[in-house]
Structure 1
Amino acid sequence: MVAARQKRYSLAFADSGSTLPTVQSDHTQATMMTALASSARPGLRVPGLVAALLFVCIATGRPATAAAGSVATTGATSALAAASAVATASAAGVAASAAAASSAASEATPDAAAAPAPALATSDAAGATASAQAAPASAATDAPVCTPDGGRPGRPAIGLVLSGGGARGYAHLGVLKVLEANRIPVDCIAATSMGAVVGGLYATGMTAQEMQRRLSQVNLADIAFDVTERADLPQKKREDERLYIDSLTIGFDSKGFKAPVGLVQGNRLQALLANWTAAVPTNQPFDRLPIPFRAIATDLQTGQKVMLDHGSLPLAIRASMALPGLFSPAEIDGRALVDGGLVGNLPVDAARRMGADIVIAVDIGSPLRPLNALASPADVMQQMIGILIRQNVAEQRKQLTPNDILLQPDLGKQTFTDFQTANQAIAAGEAAAVAALPRLARYALSPEQYDAYRAAHRRPPLQPIRITSIDIHTNGASVPKRVVRNALHVKPGDVYDPQAVSADLLSLTTSGNFENVTQQIVNEGDEHRLVIDAQEKYWGPNFLLFGLGMSSSSTDEGGFRLHLGYRRPWLTPSGLEFRADTTLGSDLQSAHVELRQPLSNKIGYYIAPYADYKRRFTNIYDSDTDIKITQYRFQTSRVGLDFGLPLARLGDFRIGLAYTHLSASPTYNMPLEWFLPDNVSLPGTLFPSAYGHQVSARARLVIDQLDDPTFPRKGYFVEARAERSLSKSSDTLFESDAPFTDVYGKVMVAQRFGRHSVNASIEAGKSFGGTNFGNPLGYTLGGFQHLSAYAADQLSGNALLYGQVTYMNQLATFNASPIKALYVGASAEAGNVWTPGTRIGSGSLKQSYTFFTSLTTAFGPVYVGVALAPGGRRNIYFQLGRTY
């Protein structure tokens, strides 16, 4: 039955005329690829349910590599297509799994013969042809390129096959270390996904020890998932972080809503690979590397296997590990390519085609989960994906001969995203290779022979490359090429420094204008062209941002806030941007619109006319009893014009003029006569209403280098602002026409010590003269992280002094998960406010001591804790989001 199914489905491999076993033993995989990837552009029309499920699969550590990242239909249609394909695949998976089990059993004995793959026809008895044809993706011929350079005459050519598996791929390093230590040569490499990262770098001549040293010096999890240092973001992006959830941003145009086909663009990984492979020309066959190399990818449009053998090595590696739905596809020769694990996670056939006589295959795939562990639809989906991958791996393992060696490192429960357990994975790879040394030793070389082999495969020294010209390619009409050109400090005639160019390109990849920006050197004779390819976000040009905040405590009613933002960059070639922000909440409703027009392309200064409206409900408390006596509704309207100057990536400085109108009224009131003696009668109410307007000059400086706005563990923050009225008109509640001057400052520093961190801040403010209509309550204290034992804004006055120290212990981190980190911590706070006529510093500072547990999540930070203060004051709170 298995043979019949294999006979029914086969495909022509690459551009050869021969027919080899298909990498999927059932039509369902090609069907699923076609259904889910009918177009790699322009992206999702609605954020796909399938992509979300894939992300859950990946986050839980399973090899979730189904092509759900580029659905061109609606999310519901995509989900149905995926469900149909996976359901069909389950029946095929039973028989394929049985075949895999049989194959594994035969390989359990090292010298046991593996059954060779039978020659398969292209159709079944009914004449149905295979549904997918292999991609003519290779520029290489069928001539063997895996040649045994160095060593004894007539030795066999050894091909190394490295499978995909995410962080489990660190085991490949352990295998390579044992091969080197025992003088076992590698003459060619075929690899997929994480295997392509290790194999591609090794093919450049980098030793296993050097690769381990380099990888240990970087946070590969952050690099793989494009985690950018917050200090490298422009200030306007950092400000958006305080309100909005970046992963929920969607785009739209006249044709409808769109979302990126991947949550991660892969810019940091590609930049790292470009730096480490700078000695490799980008327009040469991979046969010319010190060790010939092939990377396996999948054509997202057709489901065909693509064997990458020439071009940009960093781009080929990135394509091979672009998990659909998590990483955006890599475009090569006009094709959208994703993770090769979909069609060839253990590419034994590619090594054979390169001419390998002996194959050393390293399979790091995750095992299937037991039936009782499948507790949700996401669990079932990831199990089905695992079955599909095991099918193509089983087909490849059948091509191993008795002389080949299959290594399966014991990686236990290590998941796809467990980068923090890299050392354990390396050790597991070493152990698997050491256990196989009795079989591996037969291919070992003498010290002299191995020296000759290493000389033939030594990494060439990096020769200085002098750039003769710079070409800039863009794919859209919105962002002018001069923006890319202005970001570059390199010029023709300079020596090429890939790290310096990557640093320049960082300002483009973090600007929010581009999906990805890549660099490569193209050699044409004596000419060396630096080619910069900047891909604009295809899911624009309009972007919607979403945010959420919730608060509940034992001292007030709690509340919620929903945030909606709109961004339209590059309205004109000069860089005009429209920004709008709306908040709908139980205590705050606001709207802000702004036009930001750059005045200089290089310096970055700009003008920003704006208008905003804010309605806020604020409780008023009796200062002696802490009892809420009323609630005021403050409505503020403002128009203004600012001049702004970005301070590199440090922060921003703005100065301008504003006109403000304010009205204030209590939401409930009491007649004044209730509080007078019986023989006294006065009209009116206890809490008056008022209104007024004013013109003021304002200035604000912000320097923000914190690594996180709410969980700062390193960096610093400085804010200084001042405002002075130029004209004013109001009724008596706001002290008539008295001018005002407000000044405020805040400084915070944070320092990390391994899992532990401490941050401390101090802030102070003072109002002189009348009331600032933009801030009618003056300065307030109370609420979460601002004297937490007191209710929100419980204390108010015209002078403020406050300081806090917070300790946090990071108990756990989670990669590619909706929950990113878990903390416990404690804080000590002290501060007070003073009303007009009271000497600042008089009386004691109010204190608060907080103990909390917190999570960083994809939907914002979550806090649960208790705050205590002298006198028995206590506040238990729950907090979601950054807005309270």
Structure 2
Amino acid sequence: MTAPDSYRWRGVRRLSPMLAALWCCAAIAQPAPAAGASAAPDAAAHPNASHACRPDGGPDGRPAVGLVLSGGGARGYAHLGVLKVLEDNRIPIDCIAATSMGAVVGGLYASGMPAAEMQKRLSETNLADIAFDVTERADLPQSRREDERLYANGATLGFSGKGVKAPAGIVQGNRLQALLADWTAAVPINQPFDKLPIPYRAIATDLQTGQMVVLDHGSLPLAIRASMAMPGLFAPAEINDRALVDGGLVRNLPVDSARQMGADVVIAVDIGSQLRPLDALASPADVAQQMVGILIRQNVAAQRKQLAPQDVLLTPELGTLTFTDFQKANEAIAAGAAAATAALPRLKRYALTPEQYAAYRAAHTQPLPPAIRITDIEIRTNGGVPQRVVRDALHVKPGDTYDPKAVSRDLLTLTTGGNFEGVTQQVVSNGDDNRLVIDAREKYWGPNFLLFGLGMSSSSTDQGGFRLHVGYRRPWLTESGLEFRTDATVGSDLNAVHVELRQPLSVKYGDYIAPYAEYQRRYANLYDDSGDVKVTQYMVQTARAGIDFGAPIGRLGDFRIGLAYTHSHGSPTYNLPLQLLDPDVTDQTALLFPSYSADALSARARLVIDQLDDPMFPRKGYFAEFRVERSLMSRNGASSETVDSRITDAPYTELYGKLMVAQQFGRHSVSAGVEGGKSIGGTNLINAFNFTLGGFQHLAAYAADQLNGDSLVYGQITYMNQLATFNSSPVKALFVGASAEVGNVWSGGARIGGGALKQSYTFFTSLTTAFGPLYMGVALAPGGRRNIYLQLGRTY
């Protein structure tokens, strides 16, 4: 498999120490596994054998062969290698008991999918993104894409009258369940797993009682999903009002379950990680992970003791592969195949002749289920989101033929939209009546949600600064979908708050109206004509209230148009008497830098198309933004009579546009962008200092916002090379890159930043971290200009 295109999913890796502690606490609470005999009796002697494991095909009296597959995340690809060797040597499998990743491979195989087909599908699927619920950013609603730009770490907390809450798992497992539903569409929903082509059991753990749960009927995708719900990482799966998590806590190698099914012979595949040497335990997190490993190895050891002389134990040599190393699937598959090949002298005693194996395969092929016609649809919700939202998302109607793949796609759009924690489906049949039941569970950690973001910057050309971003979301205040949104920023150069009510006009089409109010106080540096000497700093305060009509453009972006009333005031933080520069000035109170104020009623429109794969590290996709503002009424004034005489109240028009495209070539990527803006017509004091250049990725050889004016031209091209990725670390990936930039700003009056286009050439190292991207580098410009910087966040 190739490395994943998106690196956002690797954010879960930084949580490994915390997850290890959670696993440890859960595992400690379990009762010690019962000691098993050194040699287990055959299935006939097992007092509770279900005899689901029947030796179909082959000579009379052949033993029933059970396959036991353990958990281990991406290490579980080794199970595929084992299955391929078993198939190539005509060794039958009559039943399967499996845990976690073993439950995934075992469940698909039990459904009738051959090993070669499974490997083909998995090789074409980015299972890392699927398993960790990473949705292609282009498929997200525009509101969520905008949130990702400001709140890069993706951390979301909820709160209610009962206090602050967090999700029970970082990953809800919706995409994995949808994929499994797609791949097992031929399996009837809600049937005993004994009726699968190969009888099957998935092992899970009851989160409340700590008891082992053997899943032997119901929804196959949901059973698999429950078996691999690692506590703290994956949200528990709800089955029959029980919260179920990873079965590895209590039975990572369920030999006894295979015996319970009636297996005479067990082929057990143990892919568990080995314990780490003492000198590798360098932190409390390492010790916690080691404790987890010890406890899981104990329940595995107890199960291995139940293996009899006729059984075969396979332990693939997987080395340092971790549970998140999905990109190393081929290595794991090869290790599994090697382990099975080495054991062939013992395995071949159970092999069938070609004719017998053909008969066995024919008996274990999944027949196509009869067509089911849906007679009714029942929607179940548990919160403030109306049932009609779920119903409107479904394309299936009463009277239609049931298509589980199509329904899964519809349900995935619901979870992608952000309203639901998870949405499941099942068909309840009673005679000729087939009721499709959709269970939509809202995010229990709501209904209020908090988002957080952080940015910091330090460079050799300015003092640097920081920005802390906090967002608040309260969706579904009413059944019509009214949402309250607030974004606040506290920083060294910017303090701002934006409050908005968003009222959907149509759930189907997504259009809305949005009254809003915002306040911003920021500091803008003013330089002399050379652009090198800072002469003063303006404090600019802007208050705005308005109302917009908005409409999504499919999943491409968003368009907003509306009216706004704005008041702005700017004043220098330090000043000089004008007489120092011009002795002819008789007014001793006249100052060099005037204060100003402005009021305007304006029409505003904004179009955003955002199809970048990552807002911070774009490696593929495109982005476009176009913005226009036209004043309908404006009033401007300044404290200096000289400046005031040049100010007009004539209507102004401000135009702005930005385009960016990125393309990936393996570990290499190239992005290019252009940007332009201009204010024309009357004086535009409302948006003074809005067009700026300077700072990382914005003419980096210059200080942040060093160049400002009322006209802007800018272009850049950036190359990045991904050097490494990291497991179980706050740092997820390492890049090196270089960029070339050109641009300038001009002002019709003082011509601040006037002159030819300025250049900047940057060489940087960047890291994706738990708090956003971290950049370190140097930027150079003609004339010996240099800027060394360290920055957290795309723009701090």
TM range (shorter): over 0.9
Alpha-carbon shift at residue 881 of structure 1 (Å): 1.7
| Match 1:472 to one of 379, 387, 397 | 379
Query: Cα deviations across residues 352-405 of structure 1 (Å, max 9, x unaligned)?
Result: 000000000000000011111111111111111111101110110110001100
Matching residue of 1:56: 16
Give the residue type in structure 2 aligned to 1:55: L
Query: Does residue 432 in structure 1 map to residue 339 in structure 2?
Result: yes
TM-score, L = length of structure 2: 0.93
Residue 188 (structure 2) pairs with residue 228 (structure 1): no
Aligned: 1:391 with 2:351? no
Q: Report what 1:206 is aligned to.
A: 113
Structure 2 residue 792 is the aligned partner of structure 1 residue 880: yes
The CA distance in 2 between the partners of 1:177 and 1:721, in whole Å, is: 57
Deviations 1:257-306 (A, max 9, x none): 11111000000000000000011112110000000000000000000000
CA shift, 1:494, in A, is: 2.8
2:437 is the alignment partner of 1:531: yes
CA distance in 2, matches of 1:225, 1:513: 18
2:161 is aligned with 1:238: no
Which letter maps to 2:747? T
Question: What is residue 845 of structure 1 aligned with on the other side?
Answer: 757
Q: CA deviation at 1:470?
A: 2.1
* Cα drift, residue 629 of structure 1: 0.7
Q: Deviation per CA, 1:668-725, whole angstroms, max 9, x where unpaired?
A: 1111112134896643111111212111110101111111112111111111110011
Where does residue 570 of structure 1 map in the other structure? 476
Distance 1:608 1:520, change over 3 A: same
Alpha-carbon distance in 1 for matches of 2:338, 2:22: 31
How far residue 471 of structure 1 moved from its aligned partner, in angstroms, is: 2.1
Q: What does residue 44 of structure 2 align with? A: none
- For 1:445 and 1:646, the matched residues in 2 are separated by 60
Moved more, 185-194 or 659-668: 659-668
Matched, 1:370 2:277: yes
What is residue 858 of structure 1 aligned with on the other side?
770
Q: Which amino acid aligns with 1:262?
A: G
- Say if 2:681 is the partner of 1:792: no
Amino acid at match of 2:61: G
Aligned counterpart, 1:585: 491
Q: CA deviation at 1:472?
A: 1.6
Q: Could you tell me which residue of structure 1 aligns to residue 745 of structure 2?
A: 833
The percentage of aligned residue pairs carrying the same residue is 73
Distance in 1 (alpha carbons) for counterparts of 2:556 and 2:752: 33
Deviation by residue 1:601-650 (Cα, 9 ceiling, x = unmatched): 21121111111110001111112151111100000011111111111211
**Separation (CA, whole Å) in 2 of partners of 1:681 and 1:333:** 84
Q: 8 Å contact 1:362–1:408 — kept in the other structure?
A: yes
Is the 8 Å Cα contact of residues 474 and 535 (structure 1) preserved in structure 2? Answer: yes
Cα distance between partner residues in 2 of 1:304 and 1:474: 29
User: RMSD of aligned C-alpha atoms?
Assistant: 2.5
Distance in 2, Cα, partners of 1:303 & 1:826: 53
The answer for the alignment partner of 2:92 in structure 1 is: 185
What do residues 229-275 of structure 1 show as CA deviations (whole Å, max 9, x unaligned)?
11111111111111114542111111111111100000000000000
CA distance in 2 between counterparts of 1:867 and 1:54 reads: 31
Work out whether 1:661 is the aligned partner of 2:567: yes
TM-score (normalizing by structure 1): 0.84
Amino acid at match of 2:774: V
Residue among 101, 118, 122 paired with 1:215: 122
Change (3 A) 1:698 1:625: closer
Residue matched to 1:509: 415
2:510 is matched with which residue?
A: 604
Letter of the 2:15 counterpart:
F
1:523 deviation in Å? 4.0
Alignment pair present for 1:354 and 2:314: no
The answer (yes or no) to whether the contact 1:243–1:883 under 8 Å persists in 2 is: no
Paired residue for 2:667? 755
**Does residue 419 of structure 1 match 2:297?**
no
Letter in 1 for 2:533: I
Q: 1:546 Cα shift?
A: 1.0
Q: 1:847 to 1:625 in 2, by over 3 A?
A: closer
Question: Displacement of 1:475 after TM fit?
Answer: 2.0
Instruction: Tell me if structure 2 keeps the 8 A contact 1:221–1:815.
Output: no
Structure 2 residue 70 is the aligned partner of structure 1 residue 158: no
Q: Which residue of 1 aligns with 2:39?
A: 116
Counterpart check, 1:289 vs 2:168:
no
1:310 aligns with 2:217: yes
Match of 1:250 in 2: 157
Matched, 1:324 2:324: no
Q: 1:697 aligns with which of 579, 582, 603?
A: 603
Q: Structure 1 residue 834: deviation in Å?
A: 2.0
Q: Which moved more, 1:710-719 or 1:456-465?
A: 456-465
Indicate if the aligned counterparts of 1:66 and 1:342 stay in contact, CA closer than 8 A: no
Determine the C-alpha separation between the residues in 1 that align with 2:686 and 2:497: 14
1:489 is aligned to 395
| Equivalent position amino acid for 2:535 in 1 | I
Distance in 1, matches of 2:428 and 2:669, equals 46
Deviation at 1:522, TM superposition (A): 3.8
What secondary structure, in the 3-state scheme, does the structure 2 residue paired with 1:391 have?
A: helix
Label 1:603 to 1:722 Cα distance change in 2 as closer, same or farther (>3 A): same
Does the 8 A contact of 1:58 with 1:416 survive in 2? no
The 2-side partners of 1:774 and 1:461 are apart by 67
Unaligned runs of 5+ in 2: 1-10, 42-46
CA distance in 2, matches of 1:841, 1:544: 40
The secondary structure found in structure 2 opposite 1:731 is strand
Q: Is the 8 A contact 1:190 1:348 kept in 2?
A: yes
Residue by residue over 1:554-604, the C-alpha shift from the partner in whole angstroms, topping out at 9 and shown as x without a partner, is: 111100001111111000010011111111000000111111111112112
Aligned residue number for residue 615 of structure 2: 709
- The AA in structure 2 aligned to 1:749 is V
Change (3 A) 1:296 1:793: same
Please say if residues 635 and 664 of structure 1, whose CA atoms lie closer than 8 Å, have aligned partners that are also in contact.
yes
Instruction: Quote the residue 1:343 is aligned against.
Output: 250
CA distance in 2, matches of 1:557, 1:411: 50
The amino acid across from 2:307 in the alignment is L
Is the Cα–Cα contact under 8 Å of residues 111 and 184 in structure 2 kept in the other structure? yes
Q: Greater CA deviation, 729-738 or 690-699? A: 729-738
Q: Which amino acid aligns with 2:189?
A: T
For 2:455, which of 524, 543, 549 is the aligned residue?
549
1:500 aligns to what?
406
Give the letter aligned to residue 271 of structure 1. A
Deviation digits for residues 774-829 of structure 1 (CA, Å, limit 9, x no counterpart): 42114111111111111111111221111111111122234665333221111111
1:619 aligns with 2:525: yes
Please tell me the residue identity of whatever aligns with 2:659. V
Deviation, 1:757, is 1.1
CA shift, 1:845, in A, is 1.6
Name the CA distance, whole Å, in 1 between partners of 2:371 and 2:738: 54
Distance 1:531 1:255, change over 3 A: same
Q: Distance in 1 between matches of 2:531 and 2:687?
A: 25
Distance 1:754 1:301 in 2: 45
Letter in 1 for 2:410: D
Q: Does 1:737 align with 2:737?
A: no
Give the Å deviation of 1:730: 1.9
The 1:65–1:342 alpha-carbon spacing in structure 2 relative to 1, beyond 3 Å, is farther
Note if contact 2:424-2:438 (Cα within 8 Å) is conserved in structure 1: yes
Say which is worse superposed, 840-849 or 544-553, in terms of deviation: 840-849
How many residues are matched?
775
